[in-house]
Structure 1
Amino acid sequence: MSPPSADATTITATTNGVAGIQAAELQKTLTTNPKPLLPKEELVFGHTFSDHMLTVDWSAAEGWSKPQIKPYGPLSLDPSCSVFHYAFECFEGLKAYRDESGNIRLFRPDKNMERMNSSAERLYLPQFNGEEMIECIKELLRTDKRWVPEGKGYSLYLRPTLISTENTLGVHRANKAMLYVIASPCGPYFKTGFKAVSLFCDETNVRAWPGGVGNRKLGANYAPSVGPQVAAEKKGYQQVLWTIGEDHELMEVGTMNLLVLWRNEQGEVELVTPPLDGTILPGVTRDSILELTRSWGEFKVSERKISMKQITKACNEGRMLEVFGAGTACVVTPVKCIHFQGKDYNIPLDPSNPESQAGPITSRIYQTLFGIQYGEVPSKWSVVV
């Protein structure tokens, strides 16, 4: 396997003399039994899947095989595959959107490929050429274009996944692997739509830790979060606010990055989010929001540590302006309340509009990103398939 490299676009077509992924070699076998489309209003995130999937096998001896687009269906894996026993698995999440002209668009897919290669590097799974993989994904979208729903708020969610397929119970780097992509048409991630949520600050469990893998999108990061999420829901809160350390430094919210807009103690209006210190997932939406708001030049934008003590103080002093989560599935989710140490701290929404579900900056970010994703706002981030 090649030495680790975090840049998906510079990984060459061959690795130590073995084959890399080549989009020009892609082979297609189309289904003879297309599925009926559900009305888009009935779509539930991650429950319906398109007609086809993309697969690419890899071995240490031969490298990447020819990419295959074939009918969606079960994978045939040996019970001893190391993915089942030692969590050799990473994944990505991105969406395809249909604009008003009928074009299919992707939003910053290069960032997803870059992050997936970073995740693969951490597990010592094979890396790949991100540009070639994007071309393969585009062909999957052309093949299943009828599955990309029309209308803002609707999209085709893409799930690239990389697993070890080596049949062994020994704990060592993988010598065989599979990269595959499945697609799921979806509407809004939350059933409630674009509405503010309440958070329960978990003081017991930790999502990630220094020196761990919180900055990689590994399946092993997600299963342990389910218990705390269920516990928060039983208490009447919709998402978990993850913190770390005695000072309860903020990390993430649910499976999203967290951003806070406040008037800091120096009197500045500031948008702040925890830094990428190895415990925080480098979200594509997070990066886009930081770049977008910095381009506005209207308030300070910072990546730095922030604690619950600072949050509660800002709430008590009337300096808290807005709080929201950000991620591919939900885009932006406003926060209306944070529960911490037995007390609910209410977060302002839009004081000028009592019916609003988000503050003005959160709404503006949401609408701007939506506009880019659906081709209404010109941007290099929107890639036409």
Structure 2
Amino acid sequence: FKDLTTKLCDPDHLRSKPDVADLKFGHIFTDHMLKILYHKKLGGWQKPVIIPFENISLHPAAKVLHYAVELFEGMKAYRGVDGKIRIFRPDMNMIRMNGSALSSGLPTFDGMEMVKCLNRLVEVDQEWVPHSEASSLYLRPTLIGIDGTLGVQQSDSALLFAIMCPVGSYFNGNDDSISLLADPSYTRAWPGGCGDKKLGSNYGPTIRVQNKAIEKGRQQVLWLYGPDHQITEVGTMNIFVFYQNEFGDKVLVTPPLTGLILPGVTRQSILQLCEQWKEFRIEQRTVTMGEIVKLQKSDKLLEMFGSGTACIVSPISSIEYQDEIINIPTIQHPNPIFRRIREELQAIQYGHIEHPWAQPID
């Protein structure tokens, strides 16, 4: 970080800030970006630079273009009620990003030094952080292999960069629920694979199935695994199920970290929050579609929701599974758990509650 240099954009070339109401996820970007090159022959990581937003020039044989040697993260900066700008749990993103780098044969880095560089980038473009509790600034750190040689092998040159965009709600409306397509003929991840890493190669192959869900009138895909149809993830989100067991106890359950799902920052935050409440049981275990169907038919299924950086918490209203519709009363309760979780997380993110998870950029 001490070697970081900043080249500011010409004031005459600064982009106009969009209206908060017009924000569309990932369409409008800020004036500056962070770039850090890695060259093994030059001793590793080079000096970080913040420069005006620009296109990236790559050799046509760059490994990222041929073998998907690439990974990324998603983080958010929030403008608090006190005017301070905070980033939510960036340390966890850096740990996960380094794990993805190891899986891709890409160089690892000092996570906290990267956080300092990101803080400076947000500071430079702080006017882009929306003055609204319905929006935030999304950070997309990305690491790509840029060796200009063909062949499936480790890339000795890499580019670590970060771009940012102001974003509103990922889905329309705070309590707008989503419907899912659960088709066991498609699999997102498998044991021994990289389903728990944030690699671009995990996401591209899901587009076809996502399009199928949309054609059937569903917003997202509920990814299943195995002959018993275990639930794993919802689109790009982790999933939670809130239900009442046979003893009348309320339980919040989410699939375990066995390598099939991403270790979500929001997922971990939800588990920790709910553990502090001590109001219901919390479980991390395998959940099958058979169990979901049984709970729904016995009126024991109370809520289902997805969680992630982009959406925070998204309620689920129905699942299409084996030509049947499973309706879930998530938004029909007067005080649903998903809403309480979302409100408490947002209170931390926007500075209503002082919390070490929300780290001021200064």
Is 1:24 the counterpart of 2:5? The answer is: no
2:47 maps to 1:69: no
Residue number in structure 1 paired with 2:67? 86
**1:164-203 equivalences in 2 (<5 Å):** 164-203=145-184
Structure 2 counterpart of 1:49: 29
Deviation track 1:44-65 (CA, whole Å, cap 9, x = no partner) reads: 1100000000000001131111
- What are the superposed Cα offsets for residues 203-250 of structure 1, whole Å, 9 maximum, x if unpaired? 111010000000000000001111111101111111111001111001
Gaps of 5+ in 1: 1-22, 354-358
Could you tell me how far apart the structure 2 residues matched to 1:240 and 1:313 are? 21
Give the equivalent residue in structure 2 for 1:37. Answer: 17
Contact 2:175 2:331 in 1 (8 A): no
Contact 1:202 1:228 in 2 (8 A): no
> Is the partner of 1:376 in helix, strand or coil?
coil
Alpha-carbon separation, structure 2, partners of 1:30 and 1:97? 22
Alpha-carbon distance in 2 for matches of 1:325, 1:133 = 28
The equivalent of 1:104 in structure 2 is 85
Corresponding residue SS for 1:188? coil
Q: State the TM-score, normalizing by the size of structure 1.
A: 0.91
Within 5 Å, give how 1:294-373 maps onto structure 2: 294-353=275-334, 360-373=336-349
Tell me if structure 2 keeps the 8 A contact 1:57–1:177. yes
1:275 aligns with 2:256: yes
Q: CA deviation at 1:194?
A: 3.3
8 Å contact kept, 1:95–1:157: yes
Q: Specify the code of the residue in structure 2 equivalent to 1:184.
A: C
Q: What is the deviation of 1:374?
A: 0.5
Q: Could you say which residue in structure 1 is the equivalent of 2:269? A: 288
Supply the distance in 2 between the matched residues of 1:172 and 1:289 (Cα, whole angstroms). Answer: 38
**Deviation, structure 1 residue 351:** 4.2
Give the structure 2 partner of residue 163 of structure 1.
144
Relative distance call for 1:283 and 1:47 in structure 2 (3 A) is: same
1: distance between equivalents of 2:171 and 2:302?
Answer: 23
For residues 125-158 of structure 1, the C-alpha deviation after alignment (integer angstroms, 9 at most, x for no partner) is: 0000011000000000110000101111210000
Specify the alignment match of 2:216 in structure 1. Answer: 235
**2:358 paired with 1:382:** yes
Query: CA deviation digits over 1:340-385, x for unaligned, max 9?
Result: 11111111135454xxxxx611110010001011011121101011
Calculate the TM-score normalised by the size of structure 2: 0.97
Identity %: 46
Structure 2 CA distance for aligned equivalents of residues 267 and 99 of structure 1: 40
Q: Deviations over 1:105-137 (max 9, x none)?
A: 000000000000000010110000011000000
Q: Following the alignment from structure 1 to structure 2, what is the Cα–Cα distance between the partners of residues 360 and 352?
A: 5
Tell me which amino acid in the other structure corresponds to 2:9: T
Contact 1:325-1:335 at 8 Å conserved across structures: yes
Counterpart of 2:3 in structure 1: which amino acid? Answer: E
CA RMSD of aligned residues (A): 1.0
Equivalent residues, number: 358
Q: How far does residue 193 in structure 1 lie from its aligned partner after superposition?
A: 4.2
Find the aligned partners of 2:179 and 2:162 in 1 and give their Cα distance. 33
Rounded to whole Å, the distance in 2 between the matches of 1:144 and 1:352 is 41
- AA matched with 1:128: F
Q: What SS does the aligned partner of 1:25 have? A: coil
Alpha-carbon distance in 2 for matches of 1:265, 1:65: 59
1:192 Cα deviation after fit: 4.1
Secondary structure class of the residue paired with 1:230: helix
The residue correspondences of 1:130-149 to structure 2 (distance < 5 A) are 130-149=111-130
List 4+ stretches of structure 1 deviating above 4 A. 350-353
Which whole-Å CA distance do the structure 2 matches of 1:213 and 1:47 have between them?
A: 28
Quote the Cα distance in structure 2 between the aligned partners of 1:50 and 1:78: 26
| One-letter amino acid matched to 2:33 | M
Please name the residue that 1:14 is paired with. none
1:116 aligns with 2:113: no
Deviations 1:165-200 (A, max 9, x none): 100001111100000000001111113443111111
The corresponding residue for 1:9 is none
SS of 2:330's equivalent in the other structure is coil
Counterpart pick for 2:40 among 60, 75, 98: 60
Of 252, 261, 265, which aligns to 2:233? 252
Q: Output one character per residue of 1:261-313: Cα deviation in whole Å (capped at 9) or x when no partner.
A: 00123432110000000111000000000011011111110100010000000
1:18 alignment counterpart? none
Q: Could you tell me whether the CA contact under 8 Å between 1:26 and 1:136 is conserved in 2? A: yes
